[in-house]
Structure 1
Amino acid sequence: MKNVTLDELKAIPALQTVPDEQLEWLLANGETIEVEEGTRVFEKGEPLDRTLFMIEGRMRICAEQNGKLREIVVIKPEAITGYLPFSRATNTFGYGEAIEKCRMFRVAKAKIHEAIKLHYELTAAMVHTMTSRVRDFTSQQQQNEKMFALGKLSAGLAHELNNPASAISRGASLLHDQVKRLPALFKEVAALNIAPEKLDKINQILISKTQQTDRPMLNMMQRADAEDDLADWLTEHGIKDYDIAENFAEFSFGPADLEHLHSCTPSPQLDVVLAWMNNYLLQEKMVSDIRESSTRISELVSSVKTFTHMDRDTDKQLLDIHAGLRNTLTMLNYKMRKGNIQVVEDFDLNLPQVKALAGELNQVWTNIIDNAIDAMEPNGSGTLEIRTQLDRHFVCVYIKDNGTGIPEEIQSRVFDPFFTTKDMGKGTGLGLDVVTRIIRQHNGTVKVTSVPGNTEFTVCFPLTDN
């Protein structure tokens, strides 16, 4: 095995400005090692007690994310890894494996501590390496956090869009079937000999039922009773198309209405009239369903556009915070329904507008509300309360959940970067750090109080931007 030389250390970019005597000291206090391809250099959870200077070969570091092993980084020649001065890491978060035969220089942690006291330039070079590593890791984790958030929002949005889109497709298909029946029904209706004044009464009943705006909402039992009453009347009059009962009940028809129709069109004409009316009511219902579904899609698209504020400038603007809160709730609606979570809004709609960056405020609401939903998940249900009020010179938003709560011993750390209680792959610990930075950017404050079953985040913004 060829020992690492001074020239090989000097070839490492981070060490190029370190005086030779300090590198020679490093050589005297470390050792050269070789690792065959496929060999583990270290395992997950081992003490981080050595610094490794990669001279030849490559090593990958892998860790478990979301239940799967993933390659985090590949250490290439002229790189430094492992323990670095002033690092607070104590154990390895994954394992290291040689993907090519490697030749490295290894220095024990105790010797690196000794170098801190003896060799300023060497220490400075290694600290610079550490800060670069932290910066790269932070950038990667921020990107992961964005992808996690985007993944959750896109999954919910896809589900929210799929429901009305499917309803439109289904309604259009059924409507097409009903339209195809019109020629035959027209032929049968045209053959009837009904007096014009009776036709006017039939049309009047039909129009009044379809245009009724105060139609009562029936529960399942009430609806079943209404359908049974209509079905009994139809049976008594020899009409066996019981689908008529279901559709007529939805438009608040009752036996008295059928009696009125019967007085206008006695059997067997009544069968034809009811079939024609049933077809008309079905078409009305399908058009209404298609209209509601398309409106829902438009609202979702509008919420997405407003949520991201694609058409806004990057300068702070006066805005109503309730719009952002409601858009965020729309974006997370699927996840809340899945978690059986009830939302209680207590908004002071007379609040003055605040000067803020709307897109960034939406990140604040998304992170806090999403965390609240996750906290209520173990209970199988929950209540999310959102309250707004004016507190002298501040507009305050209170977001409360009845989830598991935040243990008292970690409450002071929840806003720290990279601190998370979630499983690997479910969070990076940057969500509340993002909240803190955005709120500070707006000269506001964010606080949390928590006991099991009652966690409340308080976000306050000043009315003046100074």
Structure 2
Amino acid sequence: MDNLTVERLRVIENLKEVPDEELQWLIDHGTIIKLPAGKYIFKPGDILPGPFIILFGKVRLCLPIGHERQEVGTYEENAIGGNLPFSRAKIANLFTEVVEELTYLQFPLELLEQMTQTKFYLTQALVHVMANRIKDYTAFEQQTEKMMALGKLSAGLAHELNNPAAAVVRGAAALAENLKKAPNLFSQVISFNIPSEDIAYVCSKITAVSQTQKPVMTMMERSSLEDDLFDWLEREGVADTSETAEILTDFGFGTNDLAALLSHIPEGGVNAIFAWINSNLVTEKIVNDIKDASARISNLVGAVKNFTHMDQGHGKKKADIHIGIRNTLIMLEHKIRNGNVNVIEKYDTELPPVSAMIGELNQVWTNLLDNALDAMEPNGSGQLTISTHRAGDCVHVTISDNGTGIPESIKGNIFNPFFTTKPIGKGTGLGLDVVMRIVKQHKGVVKVSSNPGKTDMIVEFPIEG
């Protein structure tokens, strides 16, 4: 150990106040280790070694996320790592890969307890290092949790927006094609010199149908009606019989309606008039489809805006908590549908507006609902129940699922930071920690009741904040 001196260690910011005799004790009981690039100090699953000090070289710290590794930091010259005094971490969860030839001082793990009992200033210095490490790692994990939550919501939203957006594009293209037929159809119709009263009747019939709510039919009822219309149109010599029968069925026409129309159509004009009727109804249907798809996009955008609360300032405001819960359900709709989950909403409509930070509360609903959906995933289906009620001056929100339940052995740990039962890459263990922290900000509590097949997460906080 002749090549390592107290003076060399004292240039390290965290060790400059440690007495010489304690630094010398560290040197005397440590071992200098050299590693080439590509080697590891430790990997996930290894027992964390005792404290070490980088003398020369560089190490990259990588967190395994799924099948990939995400770099979370580096150890360079004078950095201190390893299992530090009073740390609860025993097993490594990072890769520490040497990227530049490394020389470091390794202190034996078995002497760590002796250090804490006899070397006060050295212990104090290393505890300070650990505190900073925890702060930095917590900030990273919180950011990762936010990005993972954003990724889940973004994936669902992308899917939800893609369907109506694609419907608008398809509808616009179909509408353009259909409108190209209009001039030719119009010229065919006027060539029959139809009396104005007959034209008025046909137009009024189409208008009346378009303004009437479309009939609700079973598959068998629809099929039977479409067959009857097809036979009628075929007997009268109408072209495009199948397409015309389908659109007439959509709008609830019956054979009696067609017979009434036929009485106002001149001889030889059946095919032209029904082609014109078909074109008008197709246009009406396409416009309605585009309208519905556009409304769906508008609703999703509105849900995102309300979910993030991005049009309002921070701080507590009076608001209906049901709006936030419903917006969160919209954001998670893709996951709900894919999981074959039936959602039951039991809201107390008499609840007054609550004083709350709505954006933060939406994070609570997101984490709790997302966890509930994950719990039901192994079953391939499930039932999610959300209920609210007032209890004195407080509001109670209960989110229930019929998933696998929380084992009794881990129930006391679920709110601990970084505790998770999800695979690496799917959970960071901060979701329920975030829930607890936000609810405490609202002077409330979070309770859990769980048995196989039924888990209740109960959030309670004052209405007036």
Q: So what's the TM-score if we normalise by structure 1? A: 0.97
CA distance, structure 1, for counterparts of residue 329 and residue 45 of structure 2:
40
Paired residues of 1:396 and 1:459 also in contact (CA < 8 A): yes
8 A contact 1:164–1:297 mirrored in 2: yes
Residue 375 of structure 1: aligned partner: 375
Amino acid in structure 2 at the alignment position of 1:236: R
Higher deviation after alignment, 241-250 or 105-114: 105-114
How far does residue 391 in structure 1 lie from its aligned partner after superposition? 1.5
What is the SS of the residue equivalent to 2:315? coil
Report the counterpart of residue 279 of structure 2 in structure 1: 279
Cα deviations across residues 265-309 of structure 1 (Å, max 9, x unaligned)? 154211111110110011111111111111111111111111111
Retained in 1: the 8 A contact 2:439–2:446? yes
Give runs of aligned pairs for residues 178-217 of structure 1, distance below 5 A. 178-213=178-213, 215-217=214-216
The answer to whether the 8 Å contact 2:85/2:112 transfers is yes
1:409 aligned residue: 409
CA contact (8 A) 2:443 2:461 kept: yes
Matches of 1:331 and 1:184, distance apart in 2 = 46
Task: Quote the residue 1:172 is aligned against.
Answer: 172
Amino acid at match of 1:424: I
Partner Cα distance (2:271, 2:169) in 1: 31
Contact 2:405–2:451 under 8 Å retained in 1: yes
- 1:349-379 per-residue CA deviation (whole Å, 9 max, x = no partner) reads 1111110001001000000001111111111
In structure 2, C-alpha distance between the alignment counterparts of 1:221 and 1:448, rounded to whole Å:
48
Q: Write the letter of the residue equivalent to 1:69.
A: R
The residue aligned with 2:226 is 227
Preserved contact between residue 261 and residue 270 of structure 1 (Cα < 8 Å): no
In structure 2, how many angstroms separate the alpha carbons of the residues matched to 1:461 and 1:219? Answer: 47
Equivalent residues of 2:237, 2:271 under 8 A apart:
no
Matched, 1:396 2:392: no
Any idea what the Cα deviations from partners look like across 1:189-220, whole Å, max 9, x if unmatched?
Answer: 1111322222222122111100003x322233
TM-score w.r.t. structure 2 length? 0.97
Instruction: Give me the CA root mean square deviation.
Output: 1.4
Give the unaligned 5+ runs of structure 2. Answer: none
Give the Å deviation of 1:407.
0.8
8 A contact 2:210–2:284 mirrored in 1? yes
Q: Distance in 2 between matches of 1:63 and 1:143?
A: 14
| AA at the equivalent of 1:335 | K
- % identical aligned pairs: 46
Contact 2:236 2:270 in 1 (8 A): no
Unpaired stretches in structure 1, ≥5 consecutive residues? none
Match of 2:332 in 1: 332
Amino acid at match of 1:251: F
Aligned residues: 464
Q: Offset at 1:399?
A: 0.6
- What is the CA deviation profile of residues 316-344 of structure 1, one whole-angstrom value per residue up to 9, with x for unaligned ones? 01110000001000111111111111111
How far off is 1:64 after superposition? 2.2
Q: Is the 8 A contact 1:339 1:380 kept in 2?
A: yes
> 3-state SS of the aligned residue for 2:447?
strand
Q: Where does residue 40 of structure 1 map in the other structure?
A: 40
Answering whether residue 116 of structure 2 is matched by residue 136 of structure 1, we say no
Q: Write the distance in 2 (CA, Å) between the matches of 1:4 and 1:294.
A: 71
- In the alignment, what sits opposite 1:319? 319
Corresponding residue of 2:238: 239
| Superposition deviation, residue 437 in structure 1 | 0.6
Asked if 1 retains the 8 angstrom alpha-carbon contact of 2:238 and 2:274, the reply is no
Inter-partner Cα distance in structure 2 for 1:407 and 1:226: 55
